[in-house]
Amino acid sequence: MTDRRTDRSASIRSILKGNVRAASQLLTLVQNQSSSARPILKALFPHTGKARLIGITGPAGAGKSTLINQLITAFREKKQSVGVLAVDPTSPFSGGALLGDRLRMQPHFLDRDVFIRSLATRGAWGGLSPALFEAIHVLDAMGKEIILIETVGVGQDEVEIARLADVVVLVLAPGMGDEVQMMKAGLLEIGDAVVVNKGDLKEARWLYHQLKETLSDRPLLRVIADRGEGIPALITEIEKQLETEPAPARRRGFVREELRTLLREHLGNVIDQVSFNEKEIESVLLRRRDPYRLIRSWIKRSGVKTFSSTP
């Protein structure tokens, strides 16, 4: 027990000093849902809340990873420490397309002030996984001033992730007509700034002007991410929005969603442990009892007052 506490204390100290290896080990425990991660996360929590979160979202193929690579360079030139979470809510594995994303950020792998991690964030019981929030806390505790959160697409889960950020950058590119139509249906609303990538293409200029007619209350920028063109203007816009204190509603929303995911996980674990005896199963199978009555009976026995009125 003493050795375990000593190891835990050493891990906490190392992470607070920005140690990449210790942070990576903790994030592995987090993704594996290891109970040994929780005491460390609890100890780190008082040291969090300082990092600014920037969500980068948009359709697959829009060039988000290339753009992030340029943003990392720009923030590092300003001597700011940067963390990147490339998240995939749809996959239980952190690989595939996310591996490609990380390869595009390869120039920063040897920079001690840049920490890049791929993360699967789909909760087993629906919604987001606590792993996303915990990963943000780990990067925050290790001193990352800027945390870039990249999503793989524009589905509902990606929108939920983006809304956790202080600033959301929506990245679009020409040749994505279906996605743009979907954006017009409401998803454009999530972007605090909208970026049209591959701006040297004629189609990009057309898209830019089309969006300009749609967007009147938010910044619209044109960039060529693989050349770094337009990045200074984007950085200026991001910093302008970060100069103000985080919107209280967003920070409260972050906490509210984190609490919900933890509760969802806990209740899911409780449900997983429920077992019904053969007599109960037989009674439903032979239609002597309906399943609703059986569940109501179980809830009453369990003493879970929260659900006493259901089903």
Confidence at residue 309, expressed as pLDDT on a 0 to 100 scale: 42
pTM as predicted: 0.84
Q: What is the pLDDT of residues 276-290, one digit of tens each?
A: 889 999 999 998 999
Q: List C-alpha distances in Å: 180 to 169, 194, 215.
A: 15, 12, 13
Which band of pLDDT confidence, cut at 50, 70 and 90, is reported for residue 27?
Answer: very high
**What are the residues whose beta carbons fall under 8 Å from the beta carbon of 211, sequence distance 6 or more?**
172, 180, 188, 194, 196, 220
pLDDT digits (tens, 9 = 90+) for 153-196: 767 766 777 778 999 999 998 876 655 565 555 667 788 999 99
Nearest Cα neighbor of 116 from 137, 147, 75, 77 is 147
Largest CA distance in the chain: 72
Round to whole Å and give the CA distance between 250 and 279: 50
Of the pLDDT bands very low, low, confident and very high (cuts 50, 70, 90), residue 237 is: very high
Higher local confidence (pLDDT), 120 or 219: 219
- List, for residues 72-83, the tens digit of each pLDDT value: 999 999 999 999
CA distance 57 to 263: 27
Q: Which residue, among 243, 162, 231, has the nearest Cα to 195 in the 3D structure? A: 231
Which percentage of the chain shows pLDDT scores above 70?
81
pLDDT at 81: 97
Q: Which domains does the chain have, with CATH numbers?
A: 47-250 (3.40.50.300), 258-307 (no CATH)
